[in-house]
Chains A and B, each alone.
Chain A
Amino acid sequence: MSEKPLEGDVLLELRHVRKSYGDFLAVRDVSFRALRGQMFGFLGPNGAGKSTTMRMIAGILEPSSGEIALFGAPINRAALMRTGYLPEERGIYKAMTPRAVIAYFAQLKGVDATTAHKRADAMLERYGLKEWGRQKVKKLSKGMAQKVQLLASIAHEPEFVIFDEPFSGLDPVNQQTLEDILLDLKARGCTILFSTHVMEHAERLCDHIVLIAKGQKMFDGDVASAMALAPQSVLVATEESFDLPRFARENGFAAERNGAGYKIGAADAQGTRRLLSGLVAAGAPLTRFEPSRPQLRDVFVRLVEGQAAPSAKGA
């Protein structure tokens, strides 16, 4: 790692990282970079190797091969002290109070006891758990306990956080609170790497996303680049005198019935333009021509199902 120093704004870099358990290859040749201050989405289907990769970044697991640099150096204790980590499986000490849990983990990360307790109090108040601060965790609801665990992972005010599926199991209200926490962290300049199955969160929050499937990187780029990969379709309706399915067939477009009209696959913006000009040239009496908004979910499904690796940026 030391022979190729990282650029100043690169906080995390993975180079050809692999992790195997015996014959099972959980992560194969994954490389990507996260820049300082980025909200970084780590997407992939179940069993893709997201958690394994995140545990390697958190210093819990060692890669079988490849390199991971954090804060410009191979993972070390000092770098981990500046990092917060929330594992996918939720669990905190049930017999402790939320205040004690938050302060305990902050202290483990080097914060002195007085400051740790002050921060715990402030965080509990900020995120609506003040009245629960001195109750035992076992008395809290699942969502509240999850929130406490998340607060415990950031109480030492880390510069980089790794959240593994932070939204899972949260109700819409708590999901919103979590989004607030993420935005607060981002506003503070913290770099955030989180995995999620909920594409809307990634679409709304992330500056950059990496998609992996079967341990392999499928996409690495910003959200706009990902959207460009979304298969485009157009909702088209004409007067009854025009045979729209026949037109689509003869011009190489796929059409399927959608309400009063048809949903015609146009592949991309150019295809959409070609469809419109074709319809005009054929004298189609158009009553509706509405290109649909691309969805990150569609990109996800397309890339995972296709297992091809079109990359907006080289890995």
Chain B
Amino acid sequence: MPKYSIFVNGKTKTVEVENGTPLLWVLRDNLNLIGTKFGCGIGICGSCTVLIDGKAEKSCSVSIESVEGKSITTIEGLAENRNNPLLKAWIEVEVSQCGYCQPGQILAAAALLNENPNPSDKEIEEAMNEVLCRCGTYNRIKKAIKKVVAEK
């Protein structure tokens, strides 16, 4: 099997996987970065959202060969800084219920704020529509994002 070098959470990782393997499964099964979740496998639910060069991407629909040389951030990378304002807001607002989609939600929010530090409600909606939550945490997610924006 071919070897790939990828740059995850600030570190270079070499993995030996089949060509075409989605990044999601490399993260989960090869690198044990379990915070990235499998939800649908077709790039709709967004549970597998990670940052690739700062942009939110659905890792189930990104092949390993396409991310060589790119910088990938998973929830574990983001959580290395416990003072990350998004994580703090998520805890303060008490967003999580089952919690399964929350890493994807947080990374989608991180990408949004990277690009647009002061998003409108409509812009928040558009960005966050990419990640589904069955527990209905959407309103609290909105509150947490706005809290981060307001405290900047």
Q: A and B from one assembly?
A: no
The chain A residues found within 8 Å of chain B, CB to CB, are: none
The chain B residues found within 8 Å of chain A, CB to CB, are: none
